[in-house]
Amino acid sequence: MSETKVSRRTFLRYLLGTGALAAAGGVGVGLTQGAQAALARTDKPKARYALIIDTTKCVGCGACVRACNIRNHLPEGKSYVHIVQKGDAKHPWFMPVQCQHCADAPCARVCPTRATYHHESGVVLINEKLCVGCKYCEVACPYQARTFDEERGVVDKCWLCLDWVSEGKEPACVQSCVLGARIFGRLDDPTSEVAQLVASGKAKPLHPEFGTHPAVLHYIIEG
Amino acid sequence: MGQTAWGWLIAIYLFLGGLGAGSFLMAAFFELSGWRYRSKFCPVALVGATVSGPLVALGSLLLIFDLGAGRMQPWRILYMFTHFSSVMTWGIYILSIFIPLALVYGFLELMESEPWLKGFVAARLPWLLRNGRTYRRWVAAVGSVFAVATAVYTGVLISDVGPAIPLWSQPVLPFVRIPMLPILFFISAISTGMGLTFDISATIADPEIQRRFRIMDLSHILLIGLENIAIGLLFISALSSGGSAAESARIVLYGPLAVVFWVGVVLVGLAFPFVVHAYAIGRGQHSLASGVGSGVGIVIAGLLLRYMIVYAGIPAAL
Ligand code: SF4
Ligand code: SF4
């Protein structure tokens, strides 16, 4: 008789312990979510530029990919721009994707070292001196825009050719597109073609449901 | 298959983090409940305390080994302490508190059972030996908090990639926005810790122990049930949300990862231990083989679970 009592008490205590553990786990997860939401709310610079991709003009020729690879000395099989084929076999259409320079960039949020950051122009950059090559950003980018540079052990991606752009030139991909599927300009100038396309809603962010608020890239997609 | 940035090194890291944390929690539970003192020698506390630190440290080494520039220039790892919106930064803090605590805990246990060490401590640090239980209690209590954090963190780390990998960020239920993976990994951490410290180590050290702690059979049944529910919900929610999440579920349920899942995780890690422990509840005891066998099954399945989740992480379609 006494034995069952003891074991019952032990069992209750044990249940309590399990409950406490579960509660601790739950509180841990909850805290993470809450703290993260709070931490993520910092002011992001407004995008100065816009790069609009007009999928109605793109034929998927890959000139932009090649121009980018040459500009950035990327080895075979690696590129910052990838061309996603959409539609069906009969009516394919093409959608070049590269870093969208998100205002709420998950890559920057998850980067443990602050290597990924927002430039004052709104362009998302990587400080290669800080990057440890953990690839967390690569996993967390919903646009699959990041690649890992095995040689230097850091992650890299489209940087909008910021050196050329700040001299008033266009990024390599834009220069290379002879079909006019890439329109580049200043978003902070309301009279520019890109600003008007964005303002009129004709050019829209890609996959807004990801919630990352792409700031630089916008897409013109018919239908 | 899935994403390619993270591979088996990360899977093992997630597994070892859970296993080490779970082992610590087992030892701490025996310490704080007083069960450790029911017999002169408590293999659960000894093994749990001594292996947890090294296991998690080994996992962290694998993580460092998976780094690019951080492996070639290790001082860069210090930068990883600097960004508080990153779960990885949190993890680095948690690990750098948990590992030393667990190593200390291991020492405090070893000094009781290792005659050579006991003599050494008695000669040099007599106060430590005199108040051993008090110190152990404190380390166990504080360490438990960080052990829970370690186990949960391994799940939060990969679920925090959000929309990029829909499988990893599946919510518990459509209207509960907490991700499922931290919970699943936490349950698995406790299971594997129990499997390692109790089923395997304690059974080998003292087969009689099964009779004294029959509650462990019940706990295993409970945890297996919970893990079943968690895995079930994860894949139901993945399938019903369509897109890449459903694709992930498909490669696990009847694609390239099906063998890992059905044989490795379900059969070896859930069904077999369930039968063993349910049978033991009826019979009052295990055989040595069934106790150790179920423990080995649970631990292996814990590793395969992490492996499967990492490799089934398919990026969202563009
Ligand atoms: S597209 Fe990817 S890499 Fe570029 S800012 Fe957004 S999340 Fe970061
Ligand atoms: S790989 Fe580099 S840029 Fe990416 S999250 Fe890690 S430290 Fe940051």
pLDDT tens per residue across span B190-201: 999 999 999 999
With cut-offs at 50, 70 and 90, classify the pLDDT of residue A39. Answer: low
Mean pLDDT of chain A: 88
* Dist CA B24 CA B212 (whole Å): 21
- Give the CATH architecture of domain B8-311: Up-down Bundle (1.20)
Give contacts of B68 with chain A, Cβ < 8 Å: 131-135, 148-150, 152-155
Question: Does residue B229 belong to the interface with chain A, where contact is any CB pair within 8 Å?
Answer: no
pLDDT at B136 over 60: yes
Give the whole-number percent of chain B exceeding pLDDT 90. Answer: 77
With cut-offs at 50, 70 and 90, classify the pLDDT of residue A125. Answer: very high
pLDDT tens per residue across span B290-317: 889 999 999 999 999 999 999 999 999 9
- ipTM of this complex prediction, to 2 decimal places: 0.93
- Which ranges of A88-222 would DSSP assign to H, the alpha helix? 106-110, 136-140, 162-166, 172-176, 193-199
- A71/chain B closest Cα distance in angstroms: 23
Give contacts of B88 with chain A, Cβ < 8 Å: 110, 112, 134, 136
pLDDT at A88 over 70: yes
Q: Does the beta-carbon distance from B80 to A7 stay under 8 Å?
A: no
Delimit the domains of chain B by residue range: 8-311
Q: Closest Cα to atom 4, ligand 1: which residue?
A: A99
Nearest to A132 among B3, B69, B165 (CB): B69
* Dist CA B292 CA B311 (whole Å): 29
Nearest to B164 among A97, A114, A139 (CB): A139
With cut-offs at 50, 70 and 90, classify the pLDDT of residue B48. Answer: very high
pLDDT at B156 over 60: yes
pLDDT at A40 over 60: no
Rg over alpha carbons for chain B, rounded to the nearest Å, is 20
How far apart are the CA of A37 and the centre of ligand 1, in A? 18
Q: How far is CA B1 from the centre of its chain?
A: 26
Average pLDDT for A19-30: 67
Pocket test for ligand 2, best of A118, A126, A147 (most atoms within 8 A of CB): A126
With cut-offs at 50, 70 and 90, classify the pLDDT of residue A169. Answer: very high
**How many CA atoms lie within 13 Å of B73's alpha carbon, on the beta-carbon side?**
14
* Dist CA A27 CA B69 (whole Å): 35
Question: Does residue A148 belong to the interface with chain B, where contact is any CB pair within 8 Å?
Answer: yes
Q: Closest Cα to atom 7, ligand 2: which residue?
A: A131
Question: Does residue B140 belong to the interface with chain A, where contact is any CB pair within 8 Å?
Answer: no
pLDDT at A3: 44
pLDDT at A2: 41
pLDDT at B208: 77
pLDDT at B193: 97
Give contacts of A21 with chain B, Cβ < 8 Å: 25, 148, 190
Question: Does residue A75 belong to the interface with chain B, where contact is any CB pair within 8 Å?
Answer: no
Q: Does the beta-carbon distance from B183 to A25 stay under 8 Å?
A: yes
With cut-offs at 50, 70 and 90, classify the pLDDT of residue B288. Answer: confident
Which residue type, as a one-letter code, is found at position B15?
F
- A168/chain B closest Cα distance in angstroms: 31
Delimit the domains of chain A by residue range: 1-36, 41-220
Question: Does residue B145 belong to the interface with chain A, where contact is any CB pair within 8 Å?
Answer: yes
Tell me the pairing of strands A82-87 and A92-97. antiparallel
Mean pLDDT of chain B: 93
With cut-offs at 50, 70 and 90, classify the pLDDT of residue A1. Answer: very low
Question: Does residue A209 belong to the interface with chain B, where contact is any CB pair within 8 Å?
Answer: yes
**Inter-chain CB pairs, A–B, below 8 Å:** 166
pLDDT at B207: 77
Average pLDDT for A28-45: 63
Determine how many CB atoms are found less than 10 A away from the CB of residue B255. 14
pLDDT tens per residue across span A61-75: 999 999 999 999 999
Which of these, A219, A65, A184, A139, lies nearest to B88 by C-alpha position? A139
pLDDT at A92 over 80: yes
Residues 6+ positions from B82 with CB-CB distance below 8 Å: A112, A113, A114, B89
**Ligand 2 contact via A105 beta carbon (within 6 Å):** no
The nearest alpha carbon in chain B to A8 belongs to B215
Phi, psi of A154 (to 5 degrees): -125, 165
How far apart are the CA of A52 and the centre of ligand 2, in A? 27
Under DSSP, the state recorded for A84 is E
Q: Print the SS3 string covering chain B.
A: CCCCCCCHHHHHHHHHHHHHHHHHHHHHHHHHHCHHHHCCCCHHHHHHHHHHHHHHHHHHHHHHHHCCHHHHCHHHHHHHHCCCCCHHHHHHHHHHHHHHHHHHHHHHHHHHHCHHHHHHHHHHCHHHHHCHHHHHHHHHHHHHHHHHHHHHHHHHHHHCCHHHCCCCCCEEECCEEEEHHHHHHHHHHHHHHHHHHHHHHHHHHCCCHHHHCCHHHHHHHHHHHHHHHHHHHHHHHHHHHCHHHHHHHHHHHCCCCHHHHHHHHHHHHHHHHHHHHHHHHHHCCCCHHHHHHHHHHHHHHHHHHHHHHHHCCCCCCC
The nearest alpha carbon in chain B to A134 belongs to B67
pLDDT at A127: 96
Q: Ligand 1: residues within 6 Å at CB? A: A 99-102, 105-107, 124, 141, 143, 145-146, 157, 212
pLDDT at B150 over 70: yes
The nearest alpha carbon in chain A to B75 belongs to A132
Give A84's strand partners: A95
pLDDT at A37: 61
Question: Does residue A8 belong to the interface with chain B, where contact is any CB pair within 8 Å?
Answer: no
Question: Does residue B75 belong to the interface with chain A, where contact is any CB pair within 8 Å?
Answer: no
Give the whole-number percent of chain A exceeding pLDDT 70. Answer: 82
Class in CATH terms, A41-220: alpha beta
pLDDT tens per residue across span B57-113: 999 999 999 999 989 999 999 999 999 999 999 999 999 999 999 999 999 999 998
Q: Does the beta-carbon distance from B219 to A30 stay under 8 Å?
A: no
Which residue type, as a one-letter code, is found at position B285?
Q
Give contacts of B229 with chain A, Cβ < 8 Å: none
